[in-house]
């Protein structure tokens, strides 16, 4: 398995410089989603003060022709700070700044899905929508080969790896532990992690987050994972089916509830939402991966703990359904439900917005309403 050349550089030598005083200056790393809708980009600027809120941060710009976001003849794009976190790589007082992207005319870039998501969330804030997203990913070498897999063959069949312990079952735990601690330091609402069914596949969970915070926290958690993997010389893949054949794909199961669902008798509201989702299956499939459902078609086959992409289904404790009601929710008759359809490379802004539009704004049909 190939690792990056950068990973062989001496981290001890680097640490000598990282321990130098930075005076009263602050490094702010601006992060944004590029034109693919999946990739993340970043660059850093120096501030003369430590920002205390998002309002303290200046707008910035970048060359969109180099990020698949515009042509070279009119390439300036605007970075609008949207959420701020502590920087776990440079440490306090330095910051990570998640940004929205605007085009030259101040309209949102095509992959800036945060703007409409934020508007939709504001419409239902009195219902206090909570989300929790389960981000699966696969650790790969720089050659695309799964971490720890034999160079000419496959590991043993699936079975011993899920939540596994031991060198022959857990592949790459150092990355998982480093990522978990870095997220906690940054202020990301990460709430757990576990080894997944396929070897070298892992999952972390973010939430519960209310409204727009879900997308913000998951994107920053993804950025931190990419940076941690960079230090280790490997790659984190969110491909929904990285290995063909009898191996599990990677999803981003999304748990959703409202204040009404969480209160006594909330199961009725949960069942009502599931009925609405069943009538709008194709719209959600289009919203649940960046290629309008083409990526998920490789994963949602009805096998390997997935539903069939062409059919909507729901059930209690059923991991082969589109929507799962956890068993304890069915017993307590309140809580939340899990939408198992989103792919690992989904945009959380798109997923959470779609759930709000269908379940709370009562939209119907294959197209979103323009408010």
Which tens digit of pLDDT belongs to each residue from 132-182? 999 999 999 999 999 999 998 899 999 999 999 999 999 999 999 999 999
Assess whether pLDDT exceeds 80 at residue 184: yes
Domains 5-111 and 121-360 share a fold: no
User: Is residue 122 exposed (0-12), middle (13-18) or buried (19+ Cβ within 10 Å)?
Assistant: exposed
When mean pLDDT is compared across 4-8, 28-32, 119-123, 350-354, the lowest value belongs to: 4-8
Going by pLDDT thresholds of 50, 70 and 90, the confidence category of residue 28 is: very high
The H-or-E segment that residue 267 falls in is: helix 267-278
Nearest Cα residue to 128 out of 356, 288, 370: 356
- pLDDT over 70 percentage in the chain: 100
pLDDT above 80 (res 71): no
Can you name the residues that pair with 203 across neighbouring β-strands?
136, 194
- pLDDT reported for residue 46: 98
Q: Give the pLDDT score at 319.
A: 83
What are the φ and ψ backbone dihedral angles of 99, each rounded to 5 degrees? -120, 150
Q: CA neighbours within 13 Å on the CB side: how many for 320?
A: 4
End-to-end CA distance of the chain: 50
The CATH topology of domain 5-111 is: Ubiquitin-like (UB roll) (3.10.20)
pLDDT band at 73 (very low <50, low <70, confident <90, very high): confident
Q: What is the pLDDT of residue 42?
A: 98
45: buried, middle or exposed (CB in 10 Å: 19+, 13-18, 0-12)?
Answer: middle
pLDDT grade for 70, boundaries at 50, 70 and 90: confident
For the chain, the domains span 5-111, 121-360
Say whether domain 121-360 belongs to CATH 3.30.590.10.
yes
Instruction: Characterize the bridge pairing of strands 76-86 and 337-339.
Output: unpaired
Burial 346-367 (b: 16+ CB within 10 A, else e): bbbbbbbbbbbbbbbeebeeee
Query: Residue 168, Cβ neighbours under 10 Å: how many?
Result: 13
Alpha-carbon gap, residue 219 to 242, rounded angstroms: 20
Give the residue among 98, 102, 105, 117 at the shortest CA–CA distance from 57: 98
Place of tokens 């312990």: 165
Helix (H) or strand (E) holding 257: strand 252-257
Three-class SS state of 285? helix
Helix (H, G, I), strand (E, B) or coil at 75: coil
pLDDT in tens, 195-210: 999 999 999 999 999 9
pLDDT digits (tens, 9 = 90+) for 284-341: 999 999 999 999 999 999 998 899 999 999 999 888 899 999 999 999 999 999 999 9
Query: Are 235 and 140 within 8 A, CB to CB?
Result: yes
Tokens of 360: 């709370």
Is a pLDDT exceeding 90 seen at residue 99?
Answer: yes
CA dist 29 and 287 (Å) reads 29
Give the global pTM.
Answer: 0.97
Mean pLDDT of the chain: 96
């Amino acid at each position: 398995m190939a690792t990056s050349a950068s990973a062989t550089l001496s981290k001890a030598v680097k640490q000598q410089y990282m321990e130098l005083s930075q005076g009263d200056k602050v490094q702010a790393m601006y992060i944004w989603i590029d034109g693919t809708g999946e990739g993340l980009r970043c660059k850093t600027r120096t501030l003369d003060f430590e920002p205390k809120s998002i309002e303290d941060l200046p707008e910035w710009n970048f060359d969109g022709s180099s990020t698949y976001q515009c042509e070279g003849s009119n390439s300036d794009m605007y970075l609008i700070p949207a959420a701020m976190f502590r920087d776990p790589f440079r440490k306090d007082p330095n910051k990570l700044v998640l940004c929205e992207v605007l085009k030259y005319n101040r309209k949102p870039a095509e992959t800036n899905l945060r703007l409409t998501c934020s508007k939709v969330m504001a419409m239902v804030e009195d219902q206090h929508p909570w989300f929790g997203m389960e981000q699966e990913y696969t650790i790969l070498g720089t050659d695309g080969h799964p971490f720890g897999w034999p160079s000419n063959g496959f590991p043993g069949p699936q079975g011993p790896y899920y939540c596994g312990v031991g060198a022959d079952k857990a592949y790459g735990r150092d990355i998982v532990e480093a990522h978990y601690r870095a997220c906690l330091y940054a202020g990301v609402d990460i709430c757990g992690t576990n080894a997944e069914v396929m070897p070298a596949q892992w999952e972390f969970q973010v939430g519960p987050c209310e409204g727009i915070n879900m997308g913000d926290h998951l994107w920053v958690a993804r950025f931190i994972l990419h940076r941690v993997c960079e230090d280790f010389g490997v790659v984190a893949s969110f491909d929904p089916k990285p290995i063909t054949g009898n191996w599990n794909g990677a999803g981003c199961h999304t748990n959703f509830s409202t204040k009404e669902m969480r209160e006594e008798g909330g199961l009725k509201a949960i069942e009502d939402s599931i009925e609405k989702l069943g009538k709008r299956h194709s719209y959600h499939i289009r919203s649940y991966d960046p290629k309008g459902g083409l990526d998920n078609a490789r994963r949602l086959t009805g096998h390997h703990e997935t539903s069939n992409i062409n059919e909507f289904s729901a059930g209690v404790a059923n991991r082969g359904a589109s929507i799962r009601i956890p068993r304890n929710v069915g017993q307590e008759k309140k809580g939340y439900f899990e939408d198992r359809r989103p792919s690992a490379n989904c945009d959380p802004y798109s997923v959470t917005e779609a759930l709000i539009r269908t379940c709370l704004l009562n939209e119907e049909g294959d197209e979103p309403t323009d408010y």
